[in-house]
Amino acid sequence: MTARATLDVQGRFITYEEAVEDDFNVLSRLGYGAALQTLTNDLWRHRKSIEALTRHPLGLGKHDTCDVFEPRHWIRGGFNICVMLTITSPGRQERKTVFRCAMPHKLAKARYPGTVDEKLGCEVGAYVFLQENCPHVCIPHLYGFGFSDGRQPFLVRISRMFRRYIHRFFGRVPFVYLLLERISPEYGQMLSNTWDKYRHDPVRRQRLFRGLSMIMLSLARFPQMQIGSFQFNADGTLTLRNRPLTCSMMILKNDGAPRTMQRSDKYRCTDAFVAGMALPRVFSHRFIQAEHRYGPFLLQLTDLHASNIFVDDEWNVTCLIDLEWLCALPREMLGVPFWLTGCGIDQIQHDRYVEFDKIRHEFMHVLEDEERVMAAEQGLGIIISSIMHEMWDSKGIWFWYCLSSVNAMYRLLEDHLCPGRLPVSVEKAVPQFWCEDPDAVVRTKVADKEHYDQLLRQAFEKMSRGDGGGVST
């Protein structure tokens, strides 16, 4: 193998040495580029169908035009590709909409059929819930959506005649999608665009914290009696009947993690929710509040980051996007967003820990101010600031970050929850609480890792010979 051989992993060319050090499954990502290009080509080929599907829910007439932008103008995110459309109507300003299509290759479709539709149902459920119950939280308007089986229950009801017309002349659209309002520049821009420039500006930071606090408090006004996610039903109703679908769960499942939680699984008790995590379960009795283990549980945006938040020039929060990972979760999981320090969750130690604690105090001061105002004006059944303080003081927040992180659990345990290195005798005893023969599990995991390393070497060897990065298993 030559030292210069590289593989394309989601647009990033890495060497073998870098691949070995990465803590994610490099092999599972090798096909992402080709899969994305295939999806892009399919969408472009179906552009006339996409235009037709857009016309009806927007109420466009024969004098209105609807055109799909070329693929170079589309937006590609972590789980979706956004096809951009422009609407031109006589006497009106040009409008833009988004045909937001889920990426099956990022959503474990090959391993677990149905996950793409599941994600769409949860996302529609989140949009509908927020539009109906949280009018002060600005989100894009949802015009319509479509499942993989061809169901297209537009919020503006689509007629059977029009549906037959689309299928007859354009064919069924083989995509799972949302039809959304395009956030115009007047609303501002993604927070990530100006994050590095202004994140040390205390005035802008205060405005951002106020906006985020309002979102957290607005969601807390609607406690739920079980842990799970919303689903939009075929009859137009909304129920919390799905497993808690989180971004980290989907990433792990797409990388080959076994499914331990079925789609219909909900939890009425916090203990059952954490039961599948062996080592964190050992600590759970310290960080699950006994008086609240049966709820109520609080709605939380589990993928709230700087690219999902729109702000104006002064960092007032103007809009939220990407709502598919909204879940009802234990109240103890609420915390100050760790990314406010500009570093990863597993990097918050030493000087960065001090920095995070300073920002946390600043955030909590703003949250408490907004909480008092909301409690006086609208009433609040649950005071979330006290819960967040308790979890920080008890170090419980790090326990809950263990459960929500894709790859940082062991670092968080060592850095924040375990006082020094655990004795070898303890490390050997803990797995016994997980299963009857933990040594067999360890042997299997070691064999899996050796097989993975072999396939990884094979991929780079093929690339160095010039015959591509494919892997034969």
- pLDDT tens-digit readout, 73-98: 999 999 999 999 999 999 888 999 99
Four-point Cα dihedral 346, 351, 357, 358, nearest 10: -140
Please give the angle made by the CA atoms of 357, 387 and 364, to the nearest 5 degrees: 40
Name the least confident of 165-169, 221-225, 461-465: 165-169
**Percent share of the chain, pLDDT over 90:** 58
* Neighbouring residues of 207: CB distance < 8 A, sequence distance ≥ 6: 314, 315, 316, 317
Q: Rounded mean pLDDT of the chain? A: 87
177 or 432: which carries more pLDDT confidence?
A: 177
| 396 φ/ψ angles, rounded to the nearest 5 degrees | -65, -25
Alpha-helical runs (H) found in 313-437? 351-377, 384-393, 396-404, 409-412, 424-429
Question: Residue 211: pLDDT above 70?
Answer: yes
> Which pLDDT band, with edges at 50, 70 and 90, does 276 fall under?
low
**pLDDT tens digit sequence for 346-365:** 899 999 999 999 999 999 99
Q: What's the whole-number mean pLDDT along residues 317-339?
A: 95
Q: Specify the 3-state DSSP secondary structure of 180.
A: strand
Quote the CA–CA distance of 112 and 195 in Å, as a whole number: 37
Closest CA to 414 of 281, 279, 289, 284: 279
**pLDDT for 107-116, tens place per residue?**
999 999 999 9
Q: Is the pLDDT of residue 136 over 50?
A: yes
d(Cα 116, Cα 106) in Å, to the nearest integer?
Answer: 9
Question: Residue 161 has what pLDDT?
Answer: 43
**Interval 402-420 mean pLDDT:** 82
> Taking 50 as the threshold, does the pLDDT of residue 331 lie above it?
yes
Q: Is the pLDDT of residue 406 over 60?
A: yes
Amino acid (1-letter code) at residue 312 = D
Q: How far apart are CA 209 and CA 83, in angstroms?
A: 32
Residue 168's pLDDT is what? 45
| Residue 99, phi then psi, degrees to nearest 5 | -100, 100
Q: Among 10, 23, 2, 3, which Cα is nearest to 449's?
A: 23
Residue appearing with tokens 């552009």: 47
Give just the sign of the alpha carbon dihedral 369, 330, 220, 317: positive
Averaged over 138-161, what is the pLDDT?
70
Mean pLDDT, rounded, for 408-428: 75
Q: Which of 121, 129, 104, 148 is nearest to 250 (CA)?
A: 104
Is the pLDDT score of 433 beyond 50?
Answer: yes
Any idea which of 20-24, 254-258, 277-281, 424-428 has the lowest mean pLDDT? 277-281
The string of DSSP letters for 124-170 reads HHHHHHHHHH-TTS--PPEEEEE-TTS----SSPPPHHHHHHHHHHT
- The pLDDT, as a whole number, for residue 31 is 87
Single-letter amino acid code for the residue at 462: K
Cα 260 to Cα 319: distance, rounded to the nearest angstrom: 34
pLDDT mean over 216-225 = 96
Strand partners, 81: 76, 101
DSSP code for 414 = I
466: region left, alpha or beta (phi > 0 left; psi from -120 to 50 alpha): left
Q: What is the pTM of this model?
A: 0.89
- pLDDT category at 281 given cuts 50, 70, 90 is low
Cβ atoms within 10 Å of 94's Cβ, excluding its own:
9
pLDDT at residue 7, as a whole number: 85
The DSSP bridge partners found for residue 67 are 86
Residue 186: which of 318, 288, 85, 323 has the closest Cα? Answer: 318
- CA torsion 215-219-221-222 (nearest 10°) is 170
Tell me how far apart the alpha carbons of residues 364 and 369 are, in angstroms, rounded to a whole number.
9
Q: Which residue has the higher pLDDT, 402 or 72?
A: 72
Q: Tell me: the pLDDT tens digits for 296-316?
A: 999 999 999 999 999 999 999
> Please, which pLDDT band fits residue 236 given cuts at 50, 70 and 90?
confident
Enclosing H/E stretch for 445 = helix 438-465
Which distant-in-sequence residues (6+ apart) come within 8 Å of 52 by Cβ?
Answer: 165, 166, 169, 170
Tell me which of 50-64, 107-121, 147-161 is least confident: 147-161
Backbone phi, psi, residue 408, to 5°: -105, 5
